[in-house]
C-alpha cells in the first residue's frame, strides 16, 4: 500500500502551478489536501509522475464576502469552511453539509476545491454547489474562465477541467432572506460515505414556493438535480405541497443503480424519505419567513 | 528527479532535517524516526490508527506525505504523553478498560483530546460521531465512550 515514486513540486505561486501543468500535462496531478488523491495513489489506482503541491499558493486561499457572492478559495480546508462565520451566514447549505464530510482528521486536511475536483459521486459538496447554482473559477495557460456548477461535473471522478487547468475559487450566491434550505444524508455512521443524500434550496415568496433545486448525491455517476420533482413543487402554496406527488416524480428523474453496499431500490426509497424531510422543513421554514 | 528532498519537520518540539523520498508518508517517516506509537493500519485513511497532530490539528499520517510537512510542527502520541496533555485520558482508558490490544489507542487519544478541546461537554452521540473515523476491533467502543465522557466531566470540574 505505498504509492509509486513521483516527483514533488511545492508551488510558490499560481503562475508556477500553471507553468508545471502546461509542461507536464496529464503526467501531473494537483495536490491540495490529498485526502482522496493519496489513498488513490496508495492503492495504485493512480500513479501520477509529478505532484504539484498547491498548499502554499496564497491566491487559492481565503473566504471573501463580495457583493452578491461568497467566494471560497479552492485551497480552503474543510475545517476552515466549517468554522467560518461568513459561510454560516451567507451559505447555510454548505455550513449544514460540512459536518457530514468525512471525519475531523480528514476535514483538517481536505479542501473545498479538492472535493469538487475529485468529483466523487457520493461527496456532499458537488451536490451543494449544484443546488446553489455556484460558479467555479478556473485558470489555465489559455486564460481564466468561469463555469456553472451544472456544467462542471461530467461523471464519476470526471470534471471539465483540462489537463493544464486548476480550480481557483468558487462563487456561491449569497443566501436571501426568502430562501429555505435543507441538507441531509443517509449514512451508516457519521463520516461514512452517504448511501443517498440531498442538498436543496428554494425560495418562498408570499407563501408560494419557487426556484426549487433538489440536488441528490450518492445515487448515480455524479450529483444530479431532479427536474420533475422540482417542477412538482414549483409555484405551489407551502400548505399545498404534496409530498407523495413529489416523491413519485423523483422516480421519473433518477434511477439509482446498485453500489457495493446499497441496492438502487433502497437508494430510491432513501431519496424519497429525504425529499419528504425537505418538504416538511421547507414548510416549517417558510411559515416563519 | 524523484530522488530525496531535504525537509525539516519539528517532531514533538525537536526539529529534524532529513532527506526523504516524496512518496514517503508522514506515518512511515515518524516510525523510522523511532516514534512507533504512530500505528499504520489501513494506509488509506479509514482506520485512524496513524492519527497524529500537524500544526496542532489531527491528521492522518498515512494520507499526508512527509514532504508536505516541511516547516510544520508534528506531534505524536509520544509527544502528547511527554507533555501530559492526554494523561487524564490515558488514565481513564486504563480505568475503563477502553483498550485491549492498544493498536487504535494513540489515535483514539489524540482524536478524543481534539474533541474535548472544542466541545467541553459532548454528549455520548457527539463522542461516538467524533470517534467514528477511528476503528477499534477489541472494545466495542462502549468503554472508550465511557472514558471520554468521564474525562469531559473531570476537565469541566477542574475549570
Distance of alpha carbon A261 from alpha carbon A51, whole angstroms: 32
Of A125, A116, A120, A222, the C-alpha closest to A168 is A116
Residues B65, A8: C-beta atoms closer than 8 Å: yes
Lowest mean per-residue pLDDT among A61-65, A92-96, A131-135, A239-243: A239-243
pLDDT tier at A250, thresholds 50, 70, 90: very high
Half-sphere exposure at residue A144, Cβ-oriented, CA atoms within 13 angstroms: 9
Bridge partners (DSSP) of residue A216 are: A198, A224
CATH 3.30.43.10 residue window(s) in chain A: 7-53
Question: What is the nearest CA distance from B79 to chain A, expressed in angstroms?
Answer: 18
Mention the CATH class of domain A7-53.
alpha beta
**Mean pLDDT score across all residues of chain B:** 97
User: What is the model's pLDDT at position A287?
Assistant: 83
> What radius of gyration do chain A's Cα atoms show?
19
Of A98, A283, A53, the C-alpha closest to A180 is A283
Question: Domain A179-288 in CATH: superfamily?
Answer: CO dehydrogenase flavoprotein, C-terminal domain (3.30.390.50)
* DSSP 8-class letter at B25: B
CA distance to A137, A195, A220, per residue, from A127 (Å): 17, 14, 12
Question: What is the nearest CA distance from B16 to chain A, expressed in angstroms?
Answer: 19
Task: Read off the pTM.
Answer: 0.96
Any idea which fold A63-173 has?
3.30.465
Q: How many Cβ atoms are within 10 Å of B125's Cβ, its own excluded? A: 10
Say whether residue A10 is in contact with chain B using an 8 A CB cutoff.
Answer: yes
CA distance to A38, A101, B105, B109, B141, per residue, from B153 (Å): 38, 28, 20, 16, 18
Average pLDDT over residues A179-208: 95
> What does the pLDDT look like over B36-57, one tens digit per residue?
999 999 999 999 999 999 999 9
Which residue in the block uniquely carries the three cell numbers 470517534? B131
Give me the residues of B, 12-31, that contact A with CB < 8 A: 21-23, 25
Distance of alpha carbon A86 from alpha carbon A81, whole angstroms: 9
Of B64, B67, B129, Cβ closest to residue A109:
B64
Domains of chain B from N-terminus onward: 5-80 (3.10.20.30), 84-158 (1.10.150.120)
Of A4, A43, A53, Cβ closest to residue B68:
A53
A189 contacts in B (CB within 8 Å)? 129, 132
Distance of alpha carbon A137 from alpha carbon B55, whole angstroms: 29
Average pLDDT over residues B89-97: 98
pLDDT over threshold 80, residue A289: no
Bridge partners (DSSP) of residue A69 are: A173
Q: How many Cβ atoms are within 10 Å of A220's Cβ, its own excluded? A: 17
What are A50's three cell numbers? 509529478
Give me the residues of A, 194-253, that contact B with CB < 8 A: none
Bridge partners (DSSP) of residue A183 are: A199
Residues A191, B129: C-beta atoms closer than 8 Å: yes
Write the burial class of residue B93 (CB in 10 Å: 0-12 exposed, 13-18 middle, 19+ buried).
buried
Average pLDDT over residues A108-131: 98
Distance of alpha carbon A33 from alpha carbon A111, whole angstroms: 6
Half-sphere exposure at residue A276, Cβ-oriented, CA atoms within 13 angstroms: 9
Contact A69, A27 (CB under 8 A): no
What are B100's three cell numbers? 485491549
A55 contacts in B (CB within 8 Å)? 68
Q: Checking DSSP bridges between strand A135-140 and strand A145-148, what pairing results, if any?
A: antiparallel
Of B2, B64, B130, Cβ closest to residue A6:
B2
pLDDT over threshold 70, residue B148: yes
Say whether residue B7 is in contact with chain A using an 8 A CB cutoff.
Answer: no
A2 contacts in B (CB within 8 Å)? 23, 25, 43
Q: Which helix (H) or strand (E) holds B18?
A: strand B14-20
> How many residue pairs bridge chain A and chain B with CB atoms within 8 Å of each other?
93
> What does the pLDDT look like over A83-100, one tens digit per residue?
999 999 999 999 999 999
**Mean pLDDT score across all residues of chain A:** 96
pLDDT over threshold 90, residue A189: no
Of A2, A108, A190, Cβ closest to residue B23:
A2
CATH 3.30.465.10 residue window(s) in chain A: 63-173
User: What is the model's pLDDT at position B1?
Assistant: 52
Question: Which of the two residues, A35 and A243, has the higher pLDDT score?
Answer: A35
> What does the pLDDT look like over A6-46, one tens digit per residue?
999 999 999 999 999 999 989 999 999 999 999 999 999 99
Question: What is the nearest CA distance from A189 to chain B, expressed in angstroms?
Answer: 7
Distance of alpha carbon A92 from alpha carbon A70, whole angstroms: 11
Contact A39, A120 (CB under 8 A): no
CATH 3.30.390.50 residue window(s) in chain A: 179-288
Amino acid at each position: 500500500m505505498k504509492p509509486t515514486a513521483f516527483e514533488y513540486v511545492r508551488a510558490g505561486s499560481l503562475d508556477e502551478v500553471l507553468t508545471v501543468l502546461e509542461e507536464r500535462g496529464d503526467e501531473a496531478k494537483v495536490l491540495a489536501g490529498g485526502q482522496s488523491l493519496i489513498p488513490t495513489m496508495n492503492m495504485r489506482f493512480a500513479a501520477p509522475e509529478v505532484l504539484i503541491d498547491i498548499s502554499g499558493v496564497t491566491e487559492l486561499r481565503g473566504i471573501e464576502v463580495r457583493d452578491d457572492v461568497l467566494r471560497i478559495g479552492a485551497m480552503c480546508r474543510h475545517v476552515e469552511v466549517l468554522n467560518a462565520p461568513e459561510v454560516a451566514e451567507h451559505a447555510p447549505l454548505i455550513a449544514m453539509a460540512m459536518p457530514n464530510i468525512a471525519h475531523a482528521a480528514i476535514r483538517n486536511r481536505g479542501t473545498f476545491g479538492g472535493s469538487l475536483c475529485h468529483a466523487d459521486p457520493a461527496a456532499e459538496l458537488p451536490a451543494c454547489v449544484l443546488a446553489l447554482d455556484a460558479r467555479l473559477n478556473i485558470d489555465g495557460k489559455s486564460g481564466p474562465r468561469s463555469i456553472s456548477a451544472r456544467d462542471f461535473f461530467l461523471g464519476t471522478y470526471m470534471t471539465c477541467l483540462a489537463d493544464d487547468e486548476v480550480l481557483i475559487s468558487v462563487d456561491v450566491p449569497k443566501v436571501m432572506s426568502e430562501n429555505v434550505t435543507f441538507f441531509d444524508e443517509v449514512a451508516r455512521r457519521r463520516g461514512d460515505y452517504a448511501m443517498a443524500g440531498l442538498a436543496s434550496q428554494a425560495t418562498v415568496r408570499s407563501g408560494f414556493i419557487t426556484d426549487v433545486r433538489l440536488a441528490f448525491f450518492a445515487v448515480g455517476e455524479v450529483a444530479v438535480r431532479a427536474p420533475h420533482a422540482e417542477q412538482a413543487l414549483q409555484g405551489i402554496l407551502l400548505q399545498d405541497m404534496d409530498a407523495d406527488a413529489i416523491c413519485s416524480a423523483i422516480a421519473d428523474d433518477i434511477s439509482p443503480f446498485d453500489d457495493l453496499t446499497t441496492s438502487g431500490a433502497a437508494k430510491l426509497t432513501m431519496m424519497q424519505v429525504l425529499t419528504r424531510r425537505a418538504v416538511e422543513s421547507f414548510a416549517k421554514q417558510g411559515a416563519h419567513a | 528527479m524523484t530522488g530525496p528532498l531535504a525537509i525539516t519537520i519539528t517532531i514533538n518540539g525537536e526539529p529534524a532535517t532529513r532527506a526523504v523520498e516524496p512518496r514517503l508518508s508522514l506515518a512511515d517517516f515518524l516510525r523510522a524516526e523511532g516514534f512507533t506509537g504512530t500505528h499504520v493500519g489501513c494506509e488509506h485513511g479509514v482506520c485512524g490508527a496513524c492519527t497524529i497532530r500537524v500544526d496542532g490539528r489531527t491528521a492522518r499520517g498515512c494520507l499526508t506525505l512527509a514532504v508536505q510537512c516541511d516547516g510544520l510542527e508534528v506531534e505524536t502520541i509520544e509527544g502528547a504523553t511527554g507533555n501530559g496533555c492526554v494523561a487524564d485520558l490515558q488514565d481513564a482508558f486504563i480505568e475503563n478498560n477502553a483498550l485491549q490490544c492498544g493498536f487504535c489507542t494513540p489515535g483514539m487519544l489524540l482524536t478524543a483530546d481534539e474533541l474535548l478541546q472544542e466541545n467541553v461537554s459532548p454528549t455520548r452521540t457527539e463522542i461516538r460521531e467524533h470517534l467514528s473515523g477511528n476503528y477499534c476491533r477489541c472494545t466495542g467502543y462502549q468503554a472508550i465512550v465511557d472514558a471520554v465522557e468521564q474525562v469531559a466531566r473531570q476537565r469541566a470540574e477542574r475549570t
